[in-house]
Chains A and B, each alone.
Chain A
Amino acid sequence: MGNASVDVVSQPSKSKSKRGFRAGHTGWRAALFMLPSWVLLLVFFFVPILLTFYFAFTNLSLTGASSAATQFVGFRNFASMFADPTFRISVLKTIIFLIFSAVIGQQVLGLLLAILMNERNRVFRSVIGVLVLAGWVTPEIVVAFIFFAFFSNNGTFDMILGWFHIKAIAWLYTFPMVSVVVANIWHGTAFSMLVYQAALGDVPKEILESAEIDGAGRFQRLFRVTLPVIKGSIATNMVLITLQTLGLFTLIYSLTGGGPGNKTETLPIYMYQQAFSDYQLGYGTAISLILLVIGIIASFVYMRMLKIEM
């Protein structure tokens, strides 16, 4: 959760004082204590990651001739992937979804909420906070049902538009990407709001006050003081949200199933279709490898940012 992991990495010196703590056989003891976690992580986490790198280069399949004899096919999966227009569409959809739901939607709305709530009274702040948090606490699949009802033809949204004499349409069919983006913003914004509420608490009041005395307006204080101070939180939050949004499956799958057509088919949905609907596991793994590599790069960026902040 957010920027705060920084706090912890930044105190390695604390353990230095424990040098020689129960010295002697600590190595063995430590290994014993960590054994269960090592075994679990190795078998279920690191082995699958290694398998991704292997199976992505095979023609592994659940049906057909290749299911009996899996062969190494080199880069053939990647060649056919880049030749497949559906893949290119899903990369585009993933980028659109990332930009609108995570980078713009959750980040900006979360920051806006945190700033607007910063100096409001307690009751007001907690009521709005609870409403935003409700979207976060709601399980992803229920979020999908809620927005299925909200955006259906003659659903709640059409009813509200009807008050303004706007004709009812089936949002999930006409504007499916807008629907999933809105649903994901509703679900995820609280995370950014919490991160920024914590970050705003760290902005020194004295600097803001002296800027005000010097005649800086509300927006000048925001762009010249607040944002530069919390830029570390903005960056780490950006990477974390990107990672979460990149792996989003349940919400899109149960709201639109990637459709209509492939209008909301992001990479995880495309991966699922190829691997489990068309039983092309090798090809599906090649898509996971792409996701995994993007994830690994983003994770490295995330770690670098924490290092910078340390």
Chain B
Amino acid sequence: MNRFTTDKVLAHVILVLIGIAFVVPLLWMIFASFQPNATLSLQISKQWSLSNFGSILTDPANQRAFLNGILLSIGQSIIVVVVAGLAAYPLSRYQLKYKRPFMYVILFSTSLPITAVMVPVYELFVFIHMTDSLFWTMMFLSASGLPYAIWIMKNFMDSVPIELEEAAWTDGASTLTSLRSVVAPLMIPGIFTVGIFTFAGSWGNFFVPFILIQTPAKLPASVTIFQFFGQYGSVEYGQLAAFSMLYTIPAVLLYILGQRYMSRGFSFGGATKG
């Protein structure tokens, strides 16, 4: 009995220590963002203020950066959900000769690191004059997110019973109509999983827009926050923390929003890319 309880105590102590190790670095960002004279070390402030958030949010360049980021991420999410949804339909419903190899290519592509193709992608963009364009950046990001999205979408679609569709056809609905009015509503968890994953991945992606977009006015928040760090990061710690908070909040909200769908998406699997 004694051994049993020491084991238990030890397990709890280790877990608490790991928990503390995880929360301490994060606390700096939260505290410093409310402190006008924040330093690099964690300190409990006597005065709390929203002035850091004010200066970040009132800067028109930052507003534009957030808007660019939202446009890029929403655009990419819509493209990925629609295109992957269309591709998943025949993969789930039809008996196709090349389905298995196709699914293997998709699975294979989910795990390739995108970093490895950024140099040739940049070359491609230069040759066909697509650099410095939010639209083409969005298209590239969409393509890089597609393999995972198709994989997840197909698996969600497999769980939608065919009988419902067949009933709709008997009533005279076309394939597209039944896809829209019967399959899509039942696919909402899948659509949310893919949409949220895509949005979060796009919102947090720094490397792709950093390489493909040059004009400051077109840059999304992920790159602007990096430039802010380069220019003011070593002076305005409070503002850097506030900017980081504002930039992190959408990702956190999406995660909370999508958690109940995501646990399902998680058990269905596939691979995410860094």
Within 8 Å of chain B (Cβ to Cβ): is A120? yes
Stretch from B48-56, B57-65, B184-192, B203-211 that touches the partner:
B203-211
Q: Which of A2, A7, A139, A247 contacts B115 (CB 8 A)?
A: A247
A15 to chain B: which residues have CB within 8 Å? 92, 95, 99, 158
Within 8 Å of chain B (Cβ to Cβ): is A109? yes
A 269-303 to B, binary, CB cutoff 8 A, 1 in contact else 0:
00100011000010011011001100110111011
Within 8 Å of chain A (Cβ to Cβ): is B164? no
A6 to chain B: which residues have CB within 8 Å? 269
What number of A-B contacts does a CB cutoff of 8 Å give? 308
Closest residue of A by beta carbon distance from B4: A218
Which of B17-49 touch A at CB < 8 Å?
A: 18-19, 22-29, 32, 39-42
Within 8 Å of chain B (Cβ to Cβ): is A65? no
Closest residue of B by beta carbon distance from A156: B42
B 233-248 to A, binary, CB cutoff 8 A, 1 in contact else 0:
1000100110010011
| B143 x A44 contact (CB < 8 A) | yes
A 6-25 to B, binary, CB cutoff 8 A, 1 in contact else 0:
11110110111011111000
B 60-101 to A, binary, CB cutoff 8 A, 1 in contact else 0:
000000000000000000000011101101111111100110
Q: Which of A20, A51, A137, A142 contacts B29 (CB 8 A)?
A: A142
Which of B14, B90, B229 has its CB near the most chain A CB atoms (within 10 A)? B90
| A152 x B270 contact (CB < 8 A) | no
Within 8 Å of chain B (Cβ to Cβ): is A116? yes
Main secondary structure of the interface of A (DSSP, over half): helix
Say which size band chain B's interface belongs to. 35 or more
A4-B269, A292-B112, A295-B113 known; A26 and B252 CB under 8 Å?
no
Within 8 Å of chain A (Cβ to Cβ): is B182? no
B108 to chain A: which residues have CB within 8 Å? 299-300, 303
Within 8 Å of chain B (Cβ to Cβ): is A186? yes
Which of B86, B113, B116, B146 has its CB near the most chain A CB atoms (within 10 A)? B116
Q: Which of A1, A43, A48, A155 contacts B120 (CB 8 A)?
A: A48
A302 to chain B: which residues have CB within 8 Å? 111, 271
Stretch from A30-38, A78-86, A224-232 that touches the partner:
A30-38
Within 8 Å of chain B (Cβ to Cβ): is A72? no
A16 to chain B: which residues have CB within 8 Å? 95
A12 to chain B: which residues have CB within 8 Å? 100
Which of B235-274 touch A at CB < 8 Å?
A: 237, 240-241, 244, 247-248, 251-252, 255, 265-274
Within 8 Å of chain A (Cβ to Cβ): is B198? no
CA distance A245 to B118 in the complex (A): 16
CA distance A292 to B225 in the complex (A): 29
Q: Which of B14, B122, B204 contacts A116 (CB 8 A)?
A: B14
CA distance A123 to B139 in the complex (A): 43
Q: Which of A18, A113, A296 contacts B112 (CB 8 A)?
A: A296
A33-B89, A243-B111, A243-B112 known; A284 and B248 CB under 8 Å?
no
B150 to chain A: which residues have CB within 8 Å? 37
A9 to chain B: which residues have CB within 8 Å? 103, 107
